[in-house]
Amino acid sequence: MLAGVACSDDDDSIPLAQWVSEFDQTCVETIAALSETNLSEAEFQEISDAAIEEMLAIGEPDEMADVAAGLIDVMATNGDGIERTPSEIDALDQQALAAMTRLGVSDSCIGGPQG
């Protein structure tokens, strides 16, 4: 599904630092929106889906494009509304954390919504 992000033409890529900055901004804004009290499941899903679309629209970084595409793929999988076991959720979270760490995403994004 997201493989096209990792394989697009190099002319469409942006500097990694710019990609991280834009991703990070979207991530932090999404965390704030998801932290609102009294969100319905549908509202939560709508915010999550919109964030994934925004992250995909950033494009491909000129370095570590495979890591960036993998991160967005894991985030989309984690937010797809499918019930998962705690160990499956933990595995997805660890994959996302590893990718965010490699890319240099901010601690504000890595921390996620605080309940």
Q: What is the pLDDT of residues 63-84, one digit of tens each?
A: 999 999 999 999 999 888 788 9
Q: For residues 43-79, b (16+ Cβ closer than 10 Å) or e, as one string?
A: ebeebbeebbebbbebbbbeebbebbbbbbbbbbbbb
**Per-residue tokens: 101:** 């760490």
The answer to whether the beta carbons of residues 26 and 51 sit under 8 Å apart is yes
Burial of residue 22, with CB atoms counted within 10 A of its CB: 0-12 exposed, 13-18 middle, 19 or more buried: middle
Q: What is the pLDDT of residues 82-102, one digit of tens each?
A: 889 999 989 999 999 999 999
pLDDT confidence of residue 3: 42
Lowest mean pLDDT among 9-13, 32-36, 42-46, 109-113: 9-13
Q: What is the pLDDT of residues 39-51, one digit of tens each?
A: 998 998 899 999 9
pTM listed for this prediction: 0.83
